[in-house]
Amino acid sequence: MTDPTKLYDITARHILTTIARARSGGLPPDLAGLRDVLATEFGMAPPATSVSPGDLARQALLVLAEDPATRHAIEAMALEDPPLTRQTFDTGTTIAIGAAAYFALTTEIDIQRVKGQWSIKLKKKAADSATVRALVQKLLGYLP
């Protein structure tokens, strides 16, 4: 199995956004306020340092890889996508990675936003698993 933690930043970001675009029914236009709700729900403080888009993408892929079908898709894309080393900062990509990580998190947690208010409900799967908690921690360090 391809280990998502070993992927280059740009490859991890590409795979994550590809999966999120293909499988999500529509990501929220903004994630404002989600950071505070996640911090409260999981009893975590945002990390002292910010999280890079590559680190966030790799952790989100670890969560998604818990599903065997998705793990297979990640492996296939990792093998066919040559490692790219040129990286540029793109605000659109930065927002897309946050939204894609949000998508990965919603595979384990029911997150809804109604009239500007976020609500979080744990799904029947073990939503407090170590990989999900690590994704929440990284998302806290990534969201503004």
Q: From first to last of the 144 residues of the chain, give the pLDDT tens digit.
A: 568 778 888 888 888 888 888 877 666 657 778 888 899 989 999 888 889 999 999 999 999 998 888 888 888 888 865 555 444 445 455 667 888 888 888 888 888 888 888 888 777 565 568 888 999 999 999 987
> Could you tell me the residue range of the domain that residue 119 belongs to?
4-142
Q: How many domains does the chain have?
A: 1
Per DSSP, 25 falls in state S
85-94 long-range contacts, Cβ below 8 Å, gap at least 24?
85/8, 85/10, 86/10, 87/9, 87/10, 93/13, 93/17, 93/53, 94/53
